[in-house]
Amino acid sequence: MHVDLFLVPGPVNEERLNGKTLVLVDVLRASTTVCRSLTSGAKAVIPVERLDEAAELRAKLGPQDTILGGERRGIKIDNFDLGNSPFEYTEERVGSKTVILTTSNGTRGYTKANPTNLIITCGLVNVSRVARKVAETGKDLAILCAGEEGDFSIEDTLCGGMLIHKLKEVEKIELKLNDAASLALLLYRSNSDTLKRTIANGEHGRYLAEIGFASDVEAASDVDSIPVLPILKDRRIVLEES
């Protein structure tokens, strides 16, 4: 299996993704929030890029059936129901509703991909579940790290590296890695015993702690704590039917 990892979204184009399984990684916090929403009983999460799209979609789907969530620079958007803290996405708030989510980095990758790809949302909270699915499909893999404002993000790269590690060591798949995938695997292996600390000490981890979200950073670093498989279907992220 060929594994191409992209440290930043910039250089990704459709051609480089054709025919592959796509894994989208935004540990802090979109991937984690998606996993949390779906386990809290949300019918789907619809990722959108722009605020006006989010508002339009809500009007179309009906305000009573939808929850508007998201952030810019980590902070909840004015007039939105929820921010991007996974803890906000409880059964009471999102159960049986459709979550419309727009975040600074993590929701953008969903629009780049060709809808014929299998597109999986991956955080540390569900990384082993994702590895199992990738192994089952057997197709070549592209891991898209959301990064931070066009820059690389250490937690997304760690998560991508951990996914690769699981594919190799647990799923026993022979892999052919691109340069960035090798780097991510190296980063993971060098930090496998100190994941939580490395992420908390990273640039975005520190920033989120400063604005009051240290517990989100902790929760998002909790490996395999929400072992679900969110996949994109008709532009909506839903749990895979088992």
Q: If 0-12 CB within 10 Å is exposed, 13-18 middle and 19+ buried, where does residue 101 land?
A: buried
The size of the interface with a second copy (CB under 8 A), counted in residues, is: 22
Is 169 an interacting residue with respect to a second copy (CB under 8 A)?
Answer: no
CA distances from 235 to 5, 32, 60, 66 (A): 23, 18, 15, 15
Stretch that binds a second copy, among 43-51, 59-67, 146-154, 207-215 (CB under 8 A): 146-154
- Cβ proximity to a second copy, 31 vs 198, nearer residue: 198
Is 11 an interacting residue with respect to a second copy (CB under 8 A)?
Answer: yes
Q: How far is the CB of 204 from a second copy (least distance, A)?
A: 8
Dihedral angle over CA of 118, 122, 127, 128, nearest 10: -20
- Lookup: tokens for 192: 């496998």
Stretch that binds a second copy, among 86-94, 111-119, 148-156, 227-235 (CB under 8 A): 148-156
Q: What share of the chain is helix, strand, coil (3-state, %, to 5)?
A: 40, 20, 35
Q: Which of 180, 208, 219, 232 binds a second copy (CB under 8 A)?
A: 180
- Lookup: tokens for 50: 């722009």
Q: Which of 170, 186, 197, 212 binds a second copy (CB under 8 A)?
A: 186
* Residues that bind a second copy in the complex, under the rule CB under 8 A: 6-8, 10-11, 149-154, 157, 178-180, 182-183, 186-187, 190, 202-203
